[in-house]
Chain A
Amino acid sequence: MNPRKTIQQINVDEVNRLVVASQGGDADAFGKLYDIFVDQIYRYIYYRVGAEEAEDLTELVFLKTWENMKKYYANGGTFSSWIFRIAHNVVVDYYRSQNGDGKLSENIKDHRIESYTQHRAHRHFDQTLLQEAMKELKGHYRQIIILKYVNELSYEEIETIMNRSQAALRILQFRALKSLRRILENKGISSKDV
């Protein structure tokens, strides 16, 4: 199993076959599903909540996936959109447990953006910088970028996860990219590099 396969490259028929087998209690099949999705789910969690909780929450996603396996039906959407929906809910629950007041901190705009304009040393666009920049994005901007470009899901799948129409997603995606680019420029990345 090539761990660097994107979601697009994954054979949908193969996934469906493994899902059916897993629902029948086949541990091998569930193990293979895990192998297919673990990297993607981990990336999703990593960019939404950070490195510290990424492993714990990834584990929680798969535990919940197994617990609810029998509730998944193919006519309710693809398996990948279903598992990402679980991941999304896990992240939401996590933020709620952190804040306690029901508000999601990831939706609070970070006002530090303006203060960075004075510190524009040239920086290399790498993993650390991407994570820093993503943290400064609004919640739904971050989510669309992760689902579309990190996890490479289709619009149909993202529609199910984020509960927005495809047209709305496209507009959101455009605004998210614009916002991300501005943040990266403020952090010292040349406009040529983004």
Chain B
Amino acid sequence: MKFISKIIDKKLRSFESLGEELQKHSIKSISDEGRGRLRKSVIANIVNKNQEALGFDTLVEKIKTIALELRPTSYFRVLLREKLITLVEFQAERKRQRRISVLRWITKPVVIRKFAATITVFAFVFTVLFSFGFDIDEVKASLFTRLDKVDGKVTVVRNDKEIKGREGLHIKANDIIRTGENSKAGIRFLDQSVSRLDEKGELKVVRLSVNPRKKTHTVVELVLNEGQLWNRVINLVDDEARFQVKAGKTVTTAKKKAAFNISVDASGPVKVAKVSAVKNKVDVVVATSSRKVVETTIVKGFAAEVHSNEIGAVATIAVEGVQSSKEEEWVSKNLAEDEEYIQEVKDEAQEQIKDQVQVSPDSPLYPVKELSEATKLALTFDGFKKQKKLISLAREKLSEAGLMIEKGNTKKAGALLMEFRAQIENAYMWIKEHEEADSEEAAVIEAQLEDILSSYKKQMVLILPDDPAYQVKEAVSETEILAVQDDDSIGQAKKQLSQASEKLLEAEDLVEVGDTEGATKKVEKYGEEISGIAEGAKSLPTQEKEEVVSAILDTKVNDLKTLESIVTKSPSIAKEDDKKDAQEEQEFSSSLDVLGSTDFSSIDPLAAPSKKIARELAEEVLKEAVSGVKMDGLTKMGEAVLDVQQEQPSVGVLQKLNTVEDVEVNGKKVVDVNLYANQMTIQSGGKFIFVKQPLKEDLGAPKLPQTQQQTPQ
């Protein structure tokens, strides 16, 4: 019995300890806060279950799926991003400038002494300093420049801090890019130009800017301190746009299109900078001393070498000559990479066009879209808003035309281009009607139109006449003339001159792709247009005539350079031609071997000439065309200048004539002009022109100006 009670006690004691344990971990009651949370959770579950019970999950899924497909167009997204980043950069720079201005001012002892008494004066001067030191009209858009390619070790120095170079890194003004051994950096600029820095190079980005009122007005300025830099400028369209590289005492500028290489060797006591033009042409300015400057244009196949030290510089301009195998490899590799890059740019432009198209014109929904647009327009009573919508629709028409061309529907594309032109014409008429009463609104519409046309022009620069999209390019070009009012002869002449010059640039491109016949046609067309403009100027009143003649002289400077470039064969093209000739000769020799004899009676005498002969013939025809157009153009220029000088001598016109005379290509003058009272002699390319205008006192019966073209013996 005692034994059993002991066992029971032991058991009871174990239950007691269990009881004590249980009491320690008693369940707490729920707090008010917890109760509230639980209530909400329960209600939420009930609501969710209701949704599921009534099938809202299907509806919700559909909403999500459809909504996710909605995105802003790439064009809008990119444009807005650019605007925002520009704004952020602008404000950051303004703050920085303000800090610098304030710092400079308040550390002057005189200011510290007089600070308390002259605080209002300080505020005024601060404002003046701030507005003087920073150009607020020009907004920096540096974030649209980036490192496109990084091979090996690339460093970017920004505000004295080193950043590891990586693809996609945004490049800003004042950044310094350095490449290590066996390294290379590719930079894509905001104007779509591209540069590649070779190993052991140092490049400083001095300026990257875009005019917010005219986005094709871009400026890129670089300084190459060391190494080798390849540059490809593909599509600058604005007359004020430029791409510039400084190296030693040399400044090289590309204004439209160019491929050029610059190298700097600063290892010795004399710095050697070399600029080689590989495609098109570049302007080179060399500071030979502190007060003297040499300016010339070098065309493809030519190079300028400048040796400089602290005292001065010596420039030598010559044909590129034989390059080392390393240099040759560098040039060919970059040319090949450029082809890929240009294709990439064209594809991007194409994608942008597609993004701008809401509904394809060949879609059955297109009439619905048009009806919807027409309804919206009809319901827009504010004239200004209506115009903005119309311009937006016009832009869409252009993109739709581009899309139709890509799909091969040229008929539809043509119809769309006509609609585009009609809408632009209406917009310019509206501007004309409202420019007095609603000048601000008219200016906004005009700026919008200019922006669209210049942006499309930039995209279209890469399109050549053999491309189906060329008709879009022509449509944009034609509508530019619409911007000028009918009674504005000067404006019209300037636009026509600009378009004529573009024909020369196209001829340059056509020569590059081997279409010599196409280039000849463009050159001849240019000649006709320039002739027409000069003839038209003769019947204008004196003041307008002077302005048009000035514009002709301005254009002549660049046109002369382009004409020289057209007739110069680049080394790469010459090499290609040699290869083709060698191949053709081999084929001919093989065919003779097959014939087994030199019996030429079996060869058809009416067969087409060899490719080499055909090519050389075409090149001769082009040279003749260029020479003819140049001389005719100079003759017309001479007549126009004499005409102006006879009526009312103009210092401005004379100064511009001097500028034409100063044009140098490859270190040699292109034109020699001598002006006497009523006559002018012009010498160029071994040919001589004599232009004479009858003096005013001599005028009895009307006489035609006498023009003689002579070739010296």
Contacts and interface: CB of A to CB of B under 8 A. Distances in A.
Given A30-B85, A127-B70, A174 B62 contact: no
A66 B88 contact: yes
A181 B56 CA distance: 8
A193 B95 CA distance: 57
Interface stretch (B42-50, B487-495, B657-665, B673-681): B42-50
Contact of A34 (B51, B69, B81): B81
Given A34-B84, A174-B47, A52 B376 contact: yes
Interface stretch (A56-64, A81-89, A112-120): A56-64
Contacts of A28: 143, 170
Chain A interface, DSSP helix/strand/loop, else mixed: helix
A180 B71 contact: no
Interface string A104-130: 000000000000000000000111001
Interface in B53-110: 54-56, 58-60, 62-64, 66-72, 76-77, 80-81, 83-85, 87-89, 91-92, 95
A150 B282 CA distance: 54
B43 A167 contact: yes
B168 to A, nearest CB: 11
Contact of A39 (B43, B71, B81, B92): B71
B66 A125 contact: yes
A126 B66 contact: yes
A130 B84 contact: no
A31 B80 contact: no
Interface stretch (A12-20, A40-48, A71-79, A156-164): A40-48
A167 B60 contact: no
A166 B40 contact: yes
B66 A127 contact: yes
A10 interface: no
A125 B67 CA distance: 12
A38 B77 contact: yes
A55 B72 contact: yes
Contacts of B80: 34, 38, 55, 58-59, 62
A194 B62 contact: yes
15 contacts: A25-B88, A27-B85, A27-B88, A27-B92, A38-B80, A66-B87, A126-B66, A150-B64, A170-B44, A174-B50, A177-B51, A180-B59, A191-B55, A194-B55, A194-B62
Interface size class of B (residues with CB under 8 A): 35 or more
A161 to B, nearest CB: 17
Contacts of A91: none
B62 A125 contact: yes
A181 B43 contact: no
A174 B51 contact: yes
A54 interface: yes
Contact of B58 (A3, A126, A130, A194): A194
Interface of A: 3-4, 6, 25, 27-28, 30-31, 34-35, 38-39, 42-43, 46-47, 52, 54-55, 58-59, 62-63, 66, 125-127, 130, 145, 149-150, 152, 166-167, 170-171, 173-174, 177-178, 180-181, 184, 191, 193-194
A-B pairs, top 3 by smallest CB distance, nearest first, are: A27-B88, A150-B67, A194-B59
Given A174-B50, A184-B59, 4 more contacts: A27-B85, A42-B70, A62-B80, A167-B43
A150 B65 CA distance: 9
Nearest to A29: B88
Nearest to B61: A149
Contacts of A31: 81, 84-85, 143
B144 to A, nearest CB: 11
Contacts of A3: 71
A55 B76 contact: yes
Nearest to A150: B67
Contacts, number: 101
Nearest to B96: A25
Contact of B95 (A25, A126, A149, A173): A25
A166 B59 CA distance: 22
A23 B457 CA distance: 38
Nearest to A171: B47
A138 B56 CA distance: 18
B71 A42 contact: yes
A145 B66 CA distance: 13
A27 B143 contact: yes
Interface in B5-52: 40, 43-44, 47, 50-51
A193 B63 contact: no
A171 B48 CA distance: 10
Given A34-B84, A58-B80, A59-B80, A149 B170 contact: no
Contacts of B84: 30-31, 34, 62-63, 66
A149 B62 CA distance: 10
Contacts of B95: 25
A34 B143 CA distance: 14
Contacts of B54: 178
A145 B62 CA distance: 12
B236 to A, nearest CB: 25
Contact of A177 (B43, B60, B64, B67): B60
Contacts of A177: 51, 56, 59-60
A181 B58 CA distance: 11
A27 B71 contact: no
A184 B58 CA distance: 13
B72 A130 contact: no
Nearest to B56: A177
Nearest to A41: B72
Given A25-B88, A170-B44, A149 B64 contact: yes
Contacts of A54: 72
Given A30-B84, A62-B80, A193 B47 contact: no
A34 B81 CA distance: 7
Given A55-B72, A170-B43, A171-B47, A47 B89 contact: no
B72 A170 contact: no
Contacts of A152: 64
A145 to B, nearest CB: 7
Nearest to A30: B88
A25 B92 contact: yes
Contacts of B83: 59
A38 B47 contact: no
Contacts of A194: 55, 58-59, 62
B364 to A, nearest CB: 13
B183 to A, nearest CB: 24
A52 B51 CA distance: 33
Contacts of A34: 80-81, 84
B461 to A, nearest CB: 27
Which of the listed residues B47, B64, B88, B95 has the most CB atoms from chain A within 10 Å of its own CB? Answer: B88
Contacts of B92: 25, 27
Nearest to A69: B88
Contacts of B88: 25, 27, 30, 66
A30 B128 CA distance: 31
Which of the listed residues A27, A184, A193 has the most CB atoms from chain B within 10 Å of its own CB? Answer: A27
A130 B67 contact: yes
Interface in B387-419: none
A167 B43 CA distance: 8
Given A171-B47, A174-B51, A130 B85 contact: no
A4 B64 CA distance: 11
Which of the listed residues B50, B60, B69 has the most CB atoms from chain A within 10 Å of its own CB? Answer: B60
Contacts of B87: 63, 66
Contacts of B59: 177, 180-181, 184, 194
Contacts of A178: 54
